[in-house]
Structure 1
Amino acid sequence: MTLRSTVLASRPGLVRLAEMPFYPGGGGQLPDLGVLAWSGGTVAVEGFESIDCQLWIRLQHPVELTGEVEAQVDPAFRQTMRELHTDLHILNALVFQAFDGALVTGVQMNADATARIDFDLPDADNDRLRALEPAINDAIRQDLPVRETYLPLDDAYDEKGLLRSRSVTPPPTTDGLIRIIEIAGLDRQACGGTHLVSTGASRPVRILKIDNKGRHNRRMRIGLAG
């Protein structure tokens, strides 16, 4: 993904753009990798910072950018994050359905194509959780469409099952809307991250490990095959 944009402000090693294609991270998803190309060369994107309520891009070197730049997202890294995030939605949906609306207590996606998700499941049978792997991969094989819509925040709270995290709610837009991700026929929940256009774009998934983390939490670790 590439986008041409204008520099709004610049400091050594930091820049703020009029528009950018990068996902800055959040909700357990890592921030995008990529580069910025401008008249003086190219520089890698190292991260993102919120300064005075404005999002700045942190650069690998202390250069100061001016004028117009070309922002390029690392496509392989973004694809891995999209796959993991979409597959976690599939797993979340299956657990929510099979374990009486169990809520998520934590998520983390990793650059090595693995992820973990924690559920509030005080009495869960770990063998039942492991047995969900074929259903995850069946949803991938079905190539279900993944769509996004927006709802007013109050409506999102009123719709049962739309907010699945025990402690985190995706931030609303400036006009008070919440982004909803829907996997056709399987899942519908609020989320702010990046996802696939359809489930079939994911590699198969393996459930790597299940840990008991305290009295209530079950931590499920998954990985992309291949």
Structure 2
Amino acid sequence: MTEFIFREDSYVRSLPTLVTAITPEGGIVLDRTIFYATSGGQPGDTGRLERADGSFVSLSGTIHPDGDKTVIVHLPAEGQPTLAVGDEVIAHLDWERRHKLMRMHTALHLVTVVLPYPITGAAVGEDKGRVDFNLPDVPEAAEVERRLNDLVEAALPVSAEWISDAELEANPGLIKSMNVKPPMGQGRVRLVRIGDVDLQPCGGTHVKNTSEIGLLRLGKIEKKGAINRRVSVVFG
């Protein structure tokens, strides 16, 4: 298993670590990592690994292999130097990109507070994000935007906590998504709490306070089916 440092502190930008495996495709597995892997609508992190001689291996992305959420594979960009099992490296996160994703992911949680309807899909982007809802009527855009920015300006603390698989099963109301179930089977599930307005399972990275998100603008509200609406937000 890889130790996911970002789950406890998503603000760590560099980290000494050890190569524990190289996949047949050339992917790199580390004993601990600050890189989030693609899942839950949030793209995997990018960055680079610094070798002992001072050279770098640029990473084009990070994934969970074959759906195994206990391991993260770091994908080298084309033409990068090779690493070997046992190599000590320093992981360096593309922080500017990650921070945008953190801000947007937290913003999308606020969207689900303003629009408390079943979620059918979501995607976190660097400058734009969206949530799909099981929602028959189109909400009034100006009011949604106003309420979103009120939550941002309220400077609500954002924190993480853990509950057991059994506790989550006993509290199904915590799950907002209709299509994607939180990762279970490891004995515990991570919850993200925003002030006293939101608590839901989430393995993604988030800012520490909603004020860090900055001004939000509501993008399109698109009809994607008889009762399905896609709500997009962008940074202001």
**TM norm structure 1:** 0.89
Contact 1:10 1:64 in 2 (8 A): no
Q: How many residues align?
A: 216
Of the structure 1 ranges 63-72 and 141-150, higher mean CA displacement relative to structure 2 is found in 63-72
Query: In structure 2, what is the Cα distance between the partners aligned to 1:10 and 1:160?
Result: 39
Decide which of 71, 81, 92 is 1:63's aligned counterpart.
Answer: 81
Task: Write the deviation string for residues 39-92 of structure 1: whole angstroms up to 9, x where unpaired.
Answer: 251021112344474432110135321310000111111111111110111110
Query: In structure 2, what is the Cα distance between the partners aligned to 1:160 and 1:49?
Result: 28
- Quick check: 1:178 aligned with 2:192? no
Query: Superposed, which structure 2 residues align to 1:128-167 within 5 Å?
Result: 129-167=141-179
Contact 2:155 2:211 in 1 (8 A): yes
The 3 A distance-change label for structure 1 pair 210 and 194 is same
Paired residue for 1:125? 138
Paired residue for 2:6? none
SS of equivalent residue, structure 2 residue 174: coil
Query: Given residue 167 of structure 2, which amino acid in structure 1 is its aligned partner?
Result: D
Deviation of 1:154 (Å): 2.4
Query: In structure 1, what is the Cα distance between the partners aligned to 2:207 and 2:44?
Result: 16
Query: In structure 2, what is the Cα distance between the partners aligned to 1:7 and 1:222?
Result: 38
Decide which of 10, 15, 19 is 2:32's aligned counterpart.
Answer: 19
Query: Given residue 88 of structure 2, which amino acid in structure 1 is its aligned partner?
Result: E
Deviation of 1:213 (Å): 0.5
Query: In structure 2, what is the Cα distance between the partners aligned to 1:71 and 1:31?
Result: 14
- Quick check: 1:115 aligned with 2:135? no
Query: Given residue 191 of structure 1, which amino acid in structure 2 is its aligned partner?
Result: C
Unaligned runs of at least 5 residues, structure 1: 97-101
**TM norm structure 2:** 0.85
- Quick check: 1:223 aligned with 2:234? yes
**RMSD in angstroms over aligned alpha carbons?**
1.8
The 3 A distance-change label for structure 1 pair 45 and 167 is same
SS of equivalent residue, structure 1 residue 200: helix
Query: In structure 2, what is the Cα distance between the partners aligned to 1:51 and 1:206?
Result: 36
Contact 2:46 2:62 in 1 (8 A): no
SS of equivalent residue, structure 2 residue 33: coil
Identity of aligned residues (%): 30
The 3 A distance-change label for structure 1 pair 182 and 49 is closer
Query: Given residue 95 of structure 1, which amino acid in structure 2 is its aligned partner?
Result: L
The 3 A distance-change label for structure 1 pair 49 and 198 is closer
Query: In structure 2, what is the Cα distance between the partners aligned to 1:163 and 1:126?
Result: 22
SS of equivalent residue, structure 1 residue 77: helix
The 3 A distance-change label for structure 1 pair 94 and 19 is same
Query: Superposed, which structure 2 residues align to 1:81-100 within 5 Å?
Result: 81-96=101-116
